[in-house]
Structure 1
Amino acid sequence: MREPELTEDQRLIQETARSLAEEHFRPLAARADREYAPPVGNLRILAEHGFCGAFIPEEYGGAGLGLFDTVIVMEQVARNCANTAILLSGTDGATPRSILHLGTEEQKRRWLPRFARAETLAAWSMSEPEAGSDVAAVRTRARKDGDSYIIDGAKTWCSGAQVSDLFLVLVRLSDEPGMRGVGAVLVERGTPGFTIGNHLDMIGLRATGMAGLNFDACRIPADNLIVPAGGMRHLFKVLDADRIAGNPTVCLGVAGAALDGATAYLRERKQFGKALSEFQGLQWRLADMAIDIEAGRALLWRAARRIDANEATPMDASVAKTFVNEMSVRVTNAAMQLAGGYGLSEEFPFERYFRDVRGMSVGYGTTEIHRNTIAREVLEGRYAA
């Protein structure tokens, strides 16, 4: 479908990303899922076309694209390989964006060009066994020791961990209670005392290299501090962009692929002497799927444009993420149902689509947490219908 809201340059970005993903990513997506093999080579292909770390300014080797442009690219990648999209969201997400907006000039010049070339892959780590969405409960500790910090603790659910080179890690930097004592540091792969755990088997997104992180007297330079204690509000502002371009945009792309696949199946499959696409009840299912996708895209695009215009509110990311997370589960579940027995077979992509989106309403803040944000904005009078 031709999107009237896109400029000619944005249509070119969309078409180029779609072409790359269809040619290079889609044919290998199922195998990556079956073999739990992160498709890192796909990021090199994206980097060759300026789509890796696309938001990075030209002075640091990037394309200088806005968040909305990144959303366009991410959707096309996710339609063809959700695992590639998740890995791309790491190198276009919280860690590099934090370095750009919160880092020192030395950190920017050292890392950002490497992200843009996909020479260095990035991940970020917040979750702990006792601290998921509750950042104030972070226990992993980084204590100052001369010109170093020494880190002790453990993290879990770190997407891209097994293939990433640089990690932004939330740590407790002081004895101040709650988030006042929490900040963030950068940790390089291979640092003594830092180990990456075994692959965590998940229902979906099996090729993202998700693993836990362990820190045992891990010593890093003090210059690797990126968010001092008490500065988490600045990091959360950066995360609003990441929450839009990553998690929900991946869900939108997968939902689109599910609708395409279900439509093709109904056109080809015959029952009772005619194509399934001729049955009105099944047509209505397709219509509901299309309505859901259109609504989700509208919310995401609005949120991305508001962030680009520096006009975003806390509601924007939370509304978009909550709706698209849950919409994608509805759409992929419907696609499985429409495909009948084939929808449950690993020879077809339908069950993979469902598996890949199901956990997204848990990651990057559960939909319940985001509903808390939405309700707070309503109750405190900052939102009016």
Structure 2
Amino acid sequence: MKDYGLTEEQRLIRDSVHDLAHDKFGPHAATADKQYQAPVHNLKPLAEMGYTGLFMPEQYGGAGLGVMENVLVVEQIARYCANTAILYSCTDGATPRAILALGSEAQKHAYLPAIVRGELLTAWSMSEANAGSDVGNVQTRAVREGDDFVINGSKLWCTGAQVSDLFLVWVRLTNDTGMKGMGAVLVHRDTPGFTIGKHLDLLGLRGTGMAELVFENCRIPASNLLLEAGRMRELLGVLDADRITGNPPVCLGVAQAAFENIVRHVKDRQQFGKPLADNQGLQWKLADMAMDIEAARALLYRAAQRVDEGNPSIVDTSITKAFVNQMAVRVTNEAMQLAGACGLSEDYPYERYFRDVRGMSIGYGTVEIHKSSIAREVLSGRYTH
């Protein structure tokens, strides 16, 4: 593997996770997809190697490492099993980051060490039928009654729902419209009045345990309030970090896998008495794929390094997320095309690669939403080199 200016420790992390994912996760990735089974058992060896809760401070049992290390881990997992890479966010994604950044000391001590050990899986629940890109339209209500909150409403597209133990739920706490009236609460899986609904059958990422959530007079203690109304911009700031560590490295890892597989295929496949790889037109397609992947990796690593240096930016996040999403769709689609009929067969990984990355252009903020963010920064004059 190339150096990319990584430190010795970062290269060690990358290479050890690569070997684990290659040996343990890759052989069963197709089965998880076909059977709609979340390969949550794959988190155990990652925890044993100290890679869950990687960013957590040492006081909670973590390694205190940065976004760059997180990106490297997710990228390598995704090369062999995108579903496992997504489930990894149950221990290193938005919810643990939100508890660390915004939770009370009691909440931090109650949850973070267990998350680091891989014993407590978490989910992030924001979306509703009419609240996707328009996050200020959340209708699920949490009403204070004495020492409790009572929650009513429903949520959609909750990744990891079927395997998670603790849910960060966006709720409306006051009658104020938009983000002003919203807050966030923590809900345990076994809370009365809380139901995890049917599995949501999607085009790809079928092994992520995605489901809807239903709250019917669900009563939680007031101590489970994570963030009061009026502070949701702080929570969105946490989500910005997750848009670097979660979605783009999954896309990059899957695109890399598709590229490596199709290179082997065209070198081995004989047509008209010679390897497909001898065709110049096909060679140019491979060159385009290689350029796309390298450009995406450069953007992603730069964005991660800037966050770790204390210089994050909206435009970095949005450019990276949108470009890597679109790159992955292009590369996996081209790999499927070059594989011919094999590209459409479930006996080969190409169609799964495409399916797994296609939805990433919608999740974590659509590509269009991120392009709007980029344009705002450009037109305001805040976008500078």
Give the TM-score band, short-chain normalised: over 0.9
| DSSP-derived class of the 1:143 partner | strand
2:157: which partner in 1? Answer: 157
Residue type of the alignment partner of 2:375:
A
1:296: which partner in 2? Answer: 296
1:26: which partner in 2? Answer: 26
> In terms of mean alpha carbon deviation, does 86-95 or 27-36 score higher?
86-95
Q: Deviations over 1:157-186 (max 9, x none)?
A: 001100000010000011111100011111
- Measure how far apart 1:353 and its partner are: 0.1
- Measure how far apart 1:65 and its partner are: 1.4
Q: Deviations over 1:67-107 (max 9, x none)?
A: 10000010000000000000002321111000001011111
Q: Does 1:280 align with 2:277?
A: no
Aligned residues: percent identity?
A: 63
Task: Measure the CA separation in 2 of the matches of 1:237 and 1:246.
Answer: 14
- Measure how far apart 1:4 and its partner are: 3.5
- Measure how far apart 1:274 and its partner are: 1.1
- Measure how far apart 1:326 and its partner are: 0.7
1:311: which partner in 2? Answer: 311
Residue type of the alignment partner of 1:189:
R
Instruction: Spell out the pairing of 1:218-297 with structure 2 (5 A cutoff).
Output: 218-297=218-297
Task: Measure the CA separation in 1 of the matches of 2:289 and 2:90.
Answer: 29
Task: Measure the CA separation in 1 of the matches of 2:367 and 2:4.
Answer: 30
Q: Deviations over 1:29-53 (max 9, x none)?
A: 0000001010011001110111112
2:55: which partner in 1? Answer: 55
| DSSP-derived class of the 1:80 partner | coil
Ranges in structure 1 where 5+ consecutive residues have no aligned partner: none
| DSSP-derived class of the 1:51 partner | coil
Instruction: Spell out the pairing of 1:1-385 with structure 2 (5 A cutoff).
Output: 1-384=1-384
Task: Measure the CA separation in 2 of the matches of 1:227 and 1:294.
Answer: 39
Task: Measure the CA separation in 1 of the matches of 2:314 and 2:223.
Answer: 31
Q: Deviations over 1:263-290 (max 9, x none)?
A: 0101110111111111111111111111
Residue type of the alignment partner of 2:359:
G
Counterpart contact for 1:248–1:324, Cα < 8 Å: yes
- Measure how far apart 1:117 and its partner are: 1.1
| DSSP-derived class of the 2:38 partner | coil
Residue type of the alignment partner of 1:227:
L
Residue type of the alignment partner of 1:21:
A
Q: Deviations over 1:241-262 (max 9, x none)?
A: 1111101110010000000000
Counterpart contact for 1:303–1:317, Cα < 8 Å: yes
- Measure how far apart 1:344 and its partner are: 0.5
Could you list the structure 1 runs, at least 4 aligned residues long, displaced by more than 6 angstroms after superposition: none
Ranges in structure 2 where 5+ consecutive residues have no aligned partner: none
TM superposition score normalised by structure 2: 0.99
- Measure how far apart 1:341 and its partner are: 0.6
Residue type of the alignment partner of 1:161:
A
Task: Measure the CA separation in 2 of the matches of 1:239 and 1:19.
Answer: 29
- Measure how far apart 1:308 and its partner are: 1.2
| DSSP-derived class of the 2:88 partner | helix
- Measure how far apart 1:342 and its partner are: 0.4
Residue type of the alignment partner of 2:204:
G
- Measure how far apart 1:230 and its partner are: 0.8
Counterpart contact for 1:91–1:123, Cα < 8 Å: no
| DSSP-derived class of the 1:128 partner | coil
| DSSP-derived class of the 1:95 partner | helix
Residue type of the alignment partner of 1:348:
Y
Residue type of the alignment partner of 1:208:
T
Task: Measure the CA separation in 1 of the matches of 2:232 and 2:315.
Answer: 18
| DSSP-derived class of the 1:190 partner | coil
Q: Deviations over 1:263-320 (max 9, x none)?
A: 0101110111111111111111111111111111111111111111221111111110
Task: Measure the CA separation in 1 of the matches of 2:4 and 2:368.
Answer: 34
Task: Measure the CA separation in 1 of the matches of 2:258 and 2:75.
Answer: 13
Task: Measure the CA separation in 1 of the matches of 2:384 and 2:54.
Answer: 35
> In terms of mean alpha carbon deviation, does 175-184 or 349-358 score higher?
175-184
Q: How much is the aligned-residue C-alpha RMSD, in angstroms? A: 0.8
